[in-house]
Amino acid sequence: KNAGANSTQKTYVVGTEPYFPPFEYAEENNSKNIVGFDVDLINAIAADQGFKVQWKDLEFDALIPALQSGQIDMIASGMTITEERENAVDFTEPYINAGLALAVAVSNEEIKGVDDLKGKVAAVQQGSTGSHEAEKLKAEGKIGDIIYLAHVNDIILNIQNERADFTINDLPVTQAFMSQNPGVIKIVDDELTSDSYGFAVKSGNTELLTMLNQGLENVKQDGTYDQIMTKYF
């Protein structure tokens, strides 16, 4: 474990798309202050490993390009570890499980599962694993059109005003939305996938990757991880 904060500490820029509660979101409307599970976890790891962080807001599909171009040093954005992304970035050890769930308007009595989606319109976050799953189902002829949106709240709006019939998004994010906003959407069917999130660094940045993995292990062992879990879930 490294010593506490001092002026010689290095600052790393962390990229995130901060409209994704409970993982990263503004504390209040109009607040620039980002909070959430990922934010607390990265801050705890940074304190443990003796580095500072500076948060940078980006659209979700801009995060990997920003990492590759050196605009940011790491991604902490509820990002699912996938084989495809492993080719572009290096992921830490998984830090939480989060599969995909299918959700529809609460009033929707027609869609009870993936088998009821033929011709139905999906609203998904651009570049997300939910969008990749929708694309797979579309290629198999199992769903209709796909509407791509930048943020999760736009997905909900499209379901509310019936431009879209369903979404495929991360289960914990959908559950958090449902408990904050009861009576809008509901989850149907079982979890579609079982996935995990990882923090990402530029391919080959083993120095930072090692610190993140070591810090993650330490905050799991000292109870900080469990505290953050209890705070947000």
Contact residues for ligand ARG, defined by CB under 6 A? 16-17, 20, 24, 60, 77-80, 125, 128-129, 170
Min CB(80)–ligand ARG separation in Å: 4
Centre a 10 Å sphere on the Cβ of residue 44 and count the other Cβ atoms it contains.
20
Nearest CB to ligand ARG, comparing residues 79 and 228: 79
Task: Provide the minimum distance between the beta carbon of 1 and ligand ARG in the complex, in angstroms, as a whole number.
Answer: 29
Largest Cα–Cα distance in the chain? 60
CB 6 within 8 A of CB 47: no
Q: And the tokens for 58?
A: 């980006």
* Torsion sign (Cα): 180, 41, 99, 69: positive
Q: Which residue number, 48 or 134, has a Cβ lying nearer to ligand ARG?
A: 134
200 Cβ contact partners less than 8 Å away, ≥ 6 residues apart? 63, 64, 67, 74, 75, 79, 85, 89, 90, 91, 92
Task: Report the nearest approach of ligand ARG to the CB of residue 168 (Å).
Answer: 10
Q: Which is nearer to ligand ARG, 129 or 224 (CB)?
A: 129
Shortest CB 230 distance to ligand ARG, Å: 21
Closer residue to ligand ARG in complex, CB, 100/208: 100
